[in-house]
């Protein structure tokens, strides 16, 4: 992306005066072409980001009392809010639990589907299909899986003599259950990007390695994996964003419960702003989310410049 | 070295078999939820968690789900939502990408950087302030209100800009000699050449917005505006008790258009997602 941010060299058209005239008009025409998209982007991305900050410094208007400036009071309240810390902690566990698993599985899937394996088309279909389904539908299906006693998980458990377990209803397993759903849904999506990258690796490299007698694992470790590094980074950034952006399954499966065990940051924002209608506090919590996303963007930017060799 | 190769090959054969088995096992695990959903939806509820190959097949669950909630209306809402978002996205991002790719003006690179901000900070996380804006605009509980924050897509602008930059300059110089205006040039030369990018972005956009849930849930509160995802969640959470057969049938019903499109145009879908991912 660093590359794409670099200013492009526009070839000056010196051959005809007509060309020069056109380039001179470029300024106004360019702005006009941009205008509609710029207005919408500013209204629904840049303005709300700034407004979030401003409103986090005000109180929530209630009835006849309008919003008034409260400085950092909302932040003070946030620091003392155990549910906020719980949701942040849950989100960290959720991200650290799902991202490496989803990426590792995606890579393995891509290597398998890219190789000469039997039933390649069917396998690719099986891996990728969860990606096309809405998270809400997926959550409905998995909800049934997790149903105590009656659901598939417990039925399989019964075969091995295990008793009924309330998977989504107990603090110790609820978040893990959501994480399984996320990994199931995302791995196939990330697989696609690895597959695309694998298909761009020159077959000559593999042939050369075979002549040298390099093992497959060695080849993977020293050639394939380093070449996939840009893809891994791209997938990683997307996975982190998704870990903080998608809470549909929380809404359907647990509503943050039991006892806040599956409270994720965005779901907490949703509850605060649209259940308790405390919009100022919602804005304050959103600032934390924005800070996390900004950190990801910054990390990506710095890392792109330094380490990843990018074409 | 020649001694090493056969050994490696022998080991490879056993390893390959093991890998194939692993790949298939994973494939089965991955397919299981959907297969299970199909089983439940097409059998009477007595069989929803009992496996019997002779269990009778039925469409009863679909009929009941369809009758129990206004799914036809939900489908219409989703269809309107997805098409209006895509149409506006395509027009706006084509114009913007053309400006970024082929015009030089002051502040262009700064503006482009500002556009890219949306790749990180999507409307999905700005729900509190965007709701405030929509209320101010009087667009709460409208299909336009669900779509509006997404209609300028940084992702589309980015993809199209990349594509437009690959169009050879000679082509537009030739067109300009013929007296082509900018918009005609865009329409006659750039847009046709970017067709694969349009298809790729279109598929990604349609599946994203067909599946989107949290924002539509916040913005809508009536049957005439709810997209099918929100309709499904309302249906599944109210009074259906635990009749999983009907809920699963409704779930499959709501994903059917996209799922069928995916199964029919699988190659196109996969390639589109790939193309969209390669930057």
- Give the tens place of pLDDT for each residue, B75-107: 999 999 999 999 999 999 999 999 999 888 888
pLDDT tens-digit readout, A40-99: 999 999 999 999 999 999 888 887 888 888 889 999 999 999 999 999 999 999 999 999
Closest by CA position to B266, among listed A87, A24, A127: A127
The dihedral formed by the CA atoms of A164, A170, A175 and A181, expressed in degrees to the nearest 10: 30
Give B 44-103 residues with CB within 8 A of chain A.
49, 91-93, 95-96, 98-103
Residue A257 clears pLDDT 80, i.e. is over it: no
pLDDT of residue B241: 62
Asked whether A8 and B165 are in contact (CB, 8 A), the reply is: yes
Query: What distance separates the 2 farthest-apart alpha carbons in chain A?
Result: 86
Residue B12 clears pLDDT 70, i.e. is over it: no
- The answer to whether the Cα torsion of B134, B136, B140, B143 is positive or negative is negative
Closest by CA position to A253, among listed A140, A166, A152: A140
Asked whether A1 and A304 are in contact (CB, 8 A), the reply is: yes
Closest by CA position to B229, among listed A252, A271, A250, A185: A252
ipTM beyond cut 0.90? no
Most confident by average pLDDT, A18-32, A159-173, A277-291, B188-202: A277-291
Please state the separation of Cα B157 from the chain's center in Å. 17
- Phi/psi of residue A289, each to 5°? -60, -45
Which residues in chain B touch residue A34, judged by CB atoms under 8 angstroms apart? 95-96, 99-100, 111
User: Is residue A21 within 8 angstroms of chain B, CB to CB?
Assistant: no
Provide the number of CB pairs (under 8 Å) joining chain A to chain B.
294
Spatial separation of the C-alpha atoms in residues B203 and B258, rounded to whole Å: 10
Give the closest of A33, A119, A128 to B99, CB-based: A33
Domains of chain A: 81-277 (1.10.3720.10)
pLDDT tens-digit readout, A62-79: 878 888 888 899 999 999
Which residues in chain A touch residue B8, judged by CB atoms under 8 angstroms apart? 213, 215
Residue B168 clears pLDDT 50, i.e. is over it: yes
Closest by CA position to A247, among listed A270, A267, A272: A267
Q: How buried is A223 (Cβ within 10 angstroms: 0-12 exposed, 13-18 middle, 19+ buried)?
A: middle
pLDDT tens-digit readout, B227-279: 999 988 888 876 556 677 888 888 888 888 888 888 888 777 777 777 766 54
Architecture of the structural domain at B69-277: Orthogonal Bundle (1.10)
């Amino acid at each position: 992306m660093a590359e794409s941010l670099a200013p492009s060299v526009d070839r000056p058209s010196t051959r005809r005066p007509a060309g020069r005239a056109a380039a001179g008009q470029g300024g106004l025409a360019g702005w006009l072409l941009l205008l509609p998209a710029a207005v919408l982007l500013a209204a629904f991305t840049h303005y709300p980001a700034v407004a979030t900050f401003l409103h986090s410094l005000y109180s929530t208007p209630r009835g006849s009392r309008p919003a008034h400036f409260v400085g950092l009071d909302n932040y003070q309240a946030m620091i003392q809010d155990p549910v906020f810390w719980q949701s942040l902690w849950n989100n960290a566990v959720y991200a650290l639990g799902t991202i490496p698993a989803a990426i590792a599985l995606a890579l393995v899937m891509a290597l398998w589907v890219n190789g000469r394996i039997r039933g390649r088309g069917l396998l690719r279909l099986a891996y990728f299909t969860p990606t096309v389904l809405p998270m809400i539908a997926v959550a409905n299906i998995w909800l049934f899986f997790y149903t105590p006693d009656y659901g598939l998980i417990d039925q399989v458990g019964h075969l091995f003599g295990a008793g009924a377990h309330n998977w989504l209803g107990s603090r110790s397993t609820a978040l893990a259950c959501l994480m399984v759903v996320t990994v199931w849904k995302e791995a196939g999506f990330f697989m696609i990007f690895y597959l695309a990258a694998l298909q761009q690796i020159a077959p000559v490299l593999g042939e050369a390695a075979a002549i040298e007698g390099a093992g497959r694992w060695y080849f993977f470790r020293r050639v394939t994996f380093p070449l996939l590094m840009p893809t891994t980074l791209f997938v990683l950034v997307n996975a982190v964003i998704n870990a903080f952006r998608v809470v549909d399954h929380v809404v359907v499966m647990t509503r943050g419960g039991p006892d806040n065990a599956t409270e994720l940051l965005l779901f907490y924002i949703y509850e605060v702003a649209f259940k308790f209608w405390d919009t100022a506090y919602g804005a304050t919590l959103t600032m934390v989310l924005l800070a996390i996303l900004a950190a990801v963007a910054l990390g990506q930017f710095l890392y792109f410049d330094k380490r990843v060799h990018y074409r | 070295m020649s001694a090493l190769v056969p050994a490696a090959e022998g080991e490879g054969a056993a390893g390959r078999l093991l890998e194939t088995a692993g790949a298939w096992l994973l494939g089965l695990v991955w397919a299981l939820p959907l297969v299970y959903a199909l089983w439940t939806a097409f059998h009477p509820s007595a069989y929803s968690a009992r496996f019997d190959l002779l269990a009778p097949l039925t469409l009863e669950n679909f009929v009941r789900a369809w009758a129990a909630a206004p799914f036809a209306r939900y489908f219409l809402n989703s269809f309107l939502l997805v098409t209006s978002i895509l149409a506006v996205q395509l027009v706006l991002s084509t114009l913007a990408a053309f400006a970024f790719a082929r015009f030089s003006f002051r502040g262009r690179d700064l503006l482009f950087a500002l556009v890219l901000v949306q790749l990180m900070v999507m409307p999905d996380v700005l729900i509190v302030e965007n709701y405030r804006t929509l209320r101010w605009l009087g667009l709460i509980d409208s299909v336009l209100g669900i779509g509006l924050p997404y209609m300028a897509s940084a992702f589309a602008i980015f993809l199209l800009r990349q594509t437009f930059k690959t169009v050879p300059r000679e082509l537009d110089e030739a067109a300009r000699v013929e007296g082509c205006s900018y918009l005609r040039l865009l329409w006659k030369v750039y847009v046709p050449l970017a067709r694969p990018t349009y298809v790729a972005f279109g598929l990604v956009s349609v599946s994203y917005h067909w599946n989107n849930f949290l924002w539509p849930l916040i913005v809508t509160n009536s049957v005439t505006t709810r997209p099918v995802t929100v309709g499904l969640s309302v249906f599944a959470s109210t009074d259906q008790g635990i009749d999983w057969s009907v809920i699963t049938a409704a779930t499959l019903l709501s994903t059917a258009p996209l799922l069928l499109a995916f199964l029919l145009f699988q190659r196109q879908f996969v390639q589109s997602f790939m193309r969209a991912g390669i930057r």
